[in-house]
Amino acid sequence: MFELSSSRGPAPRVVPVTIGAVRYEPTRQERRAPSDRGPGVLGACDAATGQRLWTLEVYVDPIDPDWEPDVQEDHFATMTATPEGRLLIVTETGRRFEVDLAMRTTRRLP
C-alpha cells in the first residue's frame, strides 16, 4: 500500500566545477536558528589540497517552523561555469543565480 510521507528524497548530486586552481561545490552551513541548516551555500576549495578557501551564501530560504525543514529546502541542482568566469547555479525549483567568483557576489536571474 502507498504511504504518504512529508520527507523528501536525497538532495541532487551536483558535480563540482573546477576553474583554475579552485573547485566550487555546494556545501551546507548552519542557519541562524539552532537545528536548521541551509543548502544555499557555495564552497570554494583548493583543487589540489581540498582545503576550504571560503564559503558564500548564494540564497537563504526562510523555514516555517510548522513544517519539516528538509521538505522546504531548495538545493542546488546544477552548477555551470560561464565563459565570463562566473558560476551559474540552478536550484531544484528552477531558480537561477549567477555568482561572480572574483567579487564573491551573487544575483538572482530572471
**What would the pLDDT profile of 68-91 be if each residue is shown by its tens digit?**
666 778 889 999 999 999 999 999
CA distance 89 to 107: 10
| Digit-coded pLDDT (tens) for 92-105 | 999 999 999 999 99
CATH number at residue 34: 2.40.10
Q: Please check whether residue 1 lies inside any domain of the structure.
A: no
Highest mean pLDDT among 39-43, 63-67, 83-87: 83-87
Q: Is residue 92 part of a domain?
A: yes
Residue 31 lies in a domain: yes
- DSSP letter string over 30-96? E-SSTT-EEEEEEEEEETTT--EEEEEE-------TTS-HHHH---EEEEEE-TTSEEEEEETT--E
Domain count, the chain: 1
pTM: 0.80
Domain interval for residue 30: 17-109
Domain for residue 3, yes or no?
no
